[in-house]
Structure 1
Amino acid sequence: MKSFHTRCPLPPRRGAGADARKLFRVLSDLGFAVTQHFDLTAQEVMDAYQEEIAKEQGDYFLSVLSSHGDEGVIFDFNGCPVKLTDIFAMFTPRRCPVLAGKTKMFFVQACRGEMLDPGVDVETDSCSETQDSFSHYLSIPNDTTVMFASSPGYGAFLNASGSAFLQTLCELLSSEARELELLQLLTRVSHRVAYRFEARGQHSGSREMPCIVTNMTQEAFPFATHAVHDQVRQGEETPSRTCDQHPDGHCDTTCTLQRRDLNRFPKLNSGIRGCLWNQRPLPSREFEATLCSSLDLKAL
């Protein structure tokens, strides 16, 4: 939600547009088919989800909910509550067989209460009511992870530049961190939001602590490259390819490593040694650092 009906007491959400633009660019670059909806009524929200889950789906489903909110709800264009339990219930195997057994991710940028964590001018995504209900935790389907911008009972920060939560998520998805397993990646998001952002002005010193709720039954790498997906499915820890000219690994010191492999797979240092030194151990990290420097990369 960016704005609300004129009869609705909720204020417009400065920065929501900035979040939407950044999310669209980053997720599109990662290969997701992105559909955006703005300023919907509660029924239109549910209709949009119903339309989406009726489509053929890939291996991963991701949804971002951004609005004013409270514990267990977000608010629609008219200021009416939309229960998260109603949304999550649409993704059970019975109601959504096309996503059964597949990883589903929800990111919720909304306040979950009025408290501020004592811990930029900011606005908050809260409303005046407080709802003490945690039933939405129990309604999360299997193979689903939900990440909230804030902890139960606390507000979530938003200013004209966007939200600390979604902007941080986009920042990490645009970096090498996208190769991490999902929960490792989200833990990094939590750390950055919690320790790198602090409110000033009226709410000076307040911080924001994201919250992750998961019913995952297996590891997931939804933002990694296709090469990583293939290796994970085959049960291998890291890619075996180390050289453009000799994919079997038998190469000499004149071979050129793929720059994107160096940049994306930190564990390739053993492959670098084998490729450049004909399978002989590297006596020190000095040559490895020199190699990375020559390719404008940081040492692994």
Structure 2
Amino acid sequence: MEPDVMRVSDTYNMEHERRGLAVIITNTQGGVEKDGESMTDCLTQLGFEVTVYSNQTMRQMKVLMSKVAQSDHSTCDCFVCVILSDGGNDNVKATDGTVTISSLVAPFKGHICKSLAGKPKLFFIQASRGRELDHGVNVTNAFSVVGDDADDDYDEVDGESVTYKIPAGADFLLAYSTVAGYQSPRNTINGSCYINALCWVLKKYSTTMDLLRMLILVNKIVARRFQSQIDGRSTIPVKQMPSFVSMLTKDLIFTPKEEVVWVRRVMEPS
């Protein structure tokens, strides 16, 4: 007999009244301003209500995440947090120290933030995760011709509600500008290569392509097209490899909203 969970849609419901809240935290200089503007523009185009917070302390970041998690997201499709900072493997810098990423994510777990339970919680982090530099490696590309993918057919259950239990840590996505242990270069004029690629892909494919496929495309763009030099310390060009960890349980496609109210509020630390 077919398990009840197999009768649930394979795609997240993106037809709520609102797209959702998007929080952008900018905690460093040198390219972050451009990245903040790019992400604000991108997320508002996707229908999010964007709030930008700059120069946050450790306490302010934790309080902010708890406060946002306590908001009512029942009419929202999902939630997005963008962190533009320096950092380490599992932490990002505040103005007075470092904060673990896990502590910022924790308030949004399903048993705490119940109005986002079963909905996507997306975290995009532009920050170094160590001091290593990736100088790349030469490879020989093998070209192949791939035909059109045929989508699998799934039966939908109309007019019937299915209740099932999910893990509290389900439906999260953590997307990083680089892999653990490595630096994430920024450009003071044009912004970071990762944020530029992410915004371009989201704007172009968000309504037609699943988010994980989009992130693979971002990985491809950054890995193949980007190279730079860090502070003149090395004559060998530096490469960069973004990464992501997905606990999503369905496909995520940002279906267009018929009517969207775009909000942009810039908040300075109190």
TM-score normalised over the length of structure 2: 0.69
State whether residues 113 and 155 of structure 1, in contact with CA within 8 Å, keep that contact through their aligned partners in structure 2.
yes
1:75 aligned counterpart, secondary structure: strand
Q: How many residues align?
A: 198
TM-aligned CA deviation for residue 76 of structure 1? 0.3
Of 186, 203, 213 in structure 1, the residue corresponding to residue 245 of structure 2 is 213
Bigger CA radius of gyration: 1
Matched position secondary structure for 1:158: coil
- Say which structure is richer in helix: 1
What letter matches 1:81 in structure 2? T
Q: Distance in 2 between matches of 1:36 and 1:65?
A: 10
1:61 aligned residue: 79
The residue identity in structure 2 corresponding to 1:183 is L
Deviations 1:58-103, CA, capped at 9 Å, x for gaps = 111111111110010001012x110111112111112111110001
The equivalent residue for 1:33 is 49
1:113 counterpart (121, 130, 133):
130
Please tell me the residue identity of whatever aligns with 2:65: Y
Larger relative contact order, structure 1 or 2 (CA cutoff 8 Å, min sep 6) = 2
1:154 equivalenced with 2:182 (yes/no): yes
For 1:178 and 1:13, the matched residues in 2 are separated by: 32
Name the CA shift for 1:147/1:81 in 2 (closer, same or farther; >3 Å).
Answer: same
Q: CA distance change for structure 1 residues 69 and 140 in 2, over 3 Å: closer, same or farther?
A: farther
Q: Following the alignment from structure 2 to structure 1, what is the Cα–Cα distance between the partners of residues 238 and 244?
A: 20
Report whether the alignment pairs 1:164 with 2:159. Answer: no
In the TM superposition, what is the alpha-carbon distance from 1:2 to its structure 2 partner?
A: 5.3
**2:90–2:100 Cα contact (<8 Å) kept:** yes
RMSD: 1.9
Q: Which SS does the other structure have where 2:102 is aligned?
A: helix
State which of 237, 243, 256 in structure 2 corresponds to 1:225: 256
Identity %: 28
Instruction: Give the distance between the partners of 1:140 and 1:206, measured in 2 at CA.
Output: 39
Query: Aligned AA for 1:28?
Result: T
Q: Secondary structure at the match of 2:186?
A: strand
Q: Does 1:52 align with 2:52?
A: no
8 A contact 1:88–1:141 mirrored in 2: no
1:182 aligns with 2:211: yes
Residue 92 to residue 184, structure 1, CA distance change in 2 (3 Å): same
Indicate which of 227, 251, 256 corresponds to 1:198. Answer: 227
Q: Select the residue among 99, 109, 114 that pairs with 2:116.
A: 99
> In structure 1, what is the equivalent of residue 262 of structure 2?
none
Q: State the alpha-carbon separation in 1 of the partners of residues 135 and 187 from structure 2.
A: 18
Shift of 1:54: 1.9
Q: Which runs of 5+ in 1 are unaligned?
A: 4-11, 120-138, 228-300
The 1:113/1:178 distance shift into structure 2, 3 A limit, reads farther
TM-score normalised by L of structure 1: 0.62
Unaligned runs of 5+ in 2: 1-24, 137-166, 259-270
Q: Does 2:98 align with 1:77?
A: no
CA offsets 1:3-23 (integer angstroms, 9 cap, x no match): 6xxxxxxxx521100011111
Q: Is the 8 A contact 1:140 1:215 kept in 2?
A: no
**In structure 2, distance between residues paired with 1:65 and 1:140:** 23
